Protein backbone atom coordinates (compact mmCIF):
# COMPACT_ATOMS: atom_id res chain seq x y z
CA UNK A 1 0.00 0.00 0.00
CA UNK A 2 1.66 3.25 -1.11
CA UNK A 3 1.60 6.14 1.30
CA UNK A 4 0.85 9.51 -0.27
CA UNK A 5 1.12 12.91 1.36
CA UNK A 6 1.94 11.45 4.75
CA UNK A 7 3.25 13.98 7.23
CA UNK A 8 4.64 12.25 10.27
CA UNK A 9 6.43 15.17 11.88
CA UNK A 10 7.54 18.51 10.49
CA UNK A 11 10.78 20.39 10.96
CA UNK A 12 9.21 22.83 13.42
CA UNK A 13 8.06 19.99 15.64
CA UNK A 14 11.47 18.29 15.44
CA UNK A 15 13.16 21.56 16.42
CA UNK A 16 10.78 22.09 19.33
CA UNK A 17 11.22 18.56 20.67
CA UNK A 18 15.02 18.72 20.41
CA UNK A 19 15.36 22.29 21.67
CA UNK A 20 17.15 23.53 18.54
CA UNK A 21 16.19 26.02 15.84
CA UNK A 22 14.13 25.17 12.77
CA UNK A 23 16.97 26.54 10.64
CA UNK A 24 19.45 24.13 12.24
CA UNK A 25 17.12 21.17 11.67
CA UNK A 26 16.81 22.20 8.02
CA UNK A 27 20.59 22.47 7.63
CA UNK A 28 21.09 19.01 9.15
CA UNK A 29 18.42 17.44 6.93
CA UNK A 30 19.89 19.05 3.81
CA UNK A 31 23.49 18.11 4.63
CA UNK A 32 24.69 21.67 5.24
CA UNK A 33 25.58 20.90 8.87
CA UNK A 34 26.86 17.69 10.43
CA UNK A 35 25.80 16.60 13.91
CA UNK A 36 25.85 12.91 14.76
CA UNK A 37 23.97 13.67 17.99
CA UNK A 38 21.10 15.49 16.33
CA UNK A 39 21.01 13.30 13.21
CA UNK A 40 20.45 10.31 15.48
CA UNK A 41 17.83 12.17 17.54
CA UNK A 42 15.97 13.20 14.37
CA UNK A 43 15.99 9.61 13.08
CA UNK A 44 14.63 8.38 16.40
CA UNK A 45 11.81 10.96 16.37
CA UNK A 46 10.84 10.05 12.82
CA UNK A 47 10.92 6.31 13.59
CA UNK A 48 8.81 6.89 16.71
CA UNK A 49 6.23 8.83 14.70
CA UNK A 50 6.22 6.19 11.98
CA UNK A 51 5.70 3.45 14.55
CA UNK A 52 2.82 5.37 16.14
CA UNK A 53 1.25 5.92 12.72
CA UNK A 54 1.51 2.23 11.81
CA UNK A 55 -0.03 1.21 15.14
CA UNK A 56 -3.02 3.51 14.62
CB 27 within 8 A of CB 15: no
pLDDT, average across residues 32-44: 96
Domain that holds residue 39: 11-55
Q: Quote the CA–CA distance of 52 and 37 in Å, as a whole number.
A: 23
Give the total number of structural domains in the chain: 1
Predicted pLDDT of residue 40: 97
Q: Quote the CA–CA distance of 28 and 1 in Å, as a whole number.
A: 30
In-domain check, residue 6: no
pTM above 0.85, yes or no: no
DSSP state of 33: S
In-domain check, residue 45: yes
Predicted pLDDT of residue 25: 96
**Tens digits of per-residue pLDDT, 3-27?**
555 677 999 999 999 999 999 999 9
Instruction: Map residue 15 onto helix, strand or coil.
Output: helix
Q: Quote the CA–CA distance of 55 and 42 in Å, as a whole number.
A: 20
Amino acid sequence: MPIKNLTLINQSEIARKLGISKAYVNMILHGKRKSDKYEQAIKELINKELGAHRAA
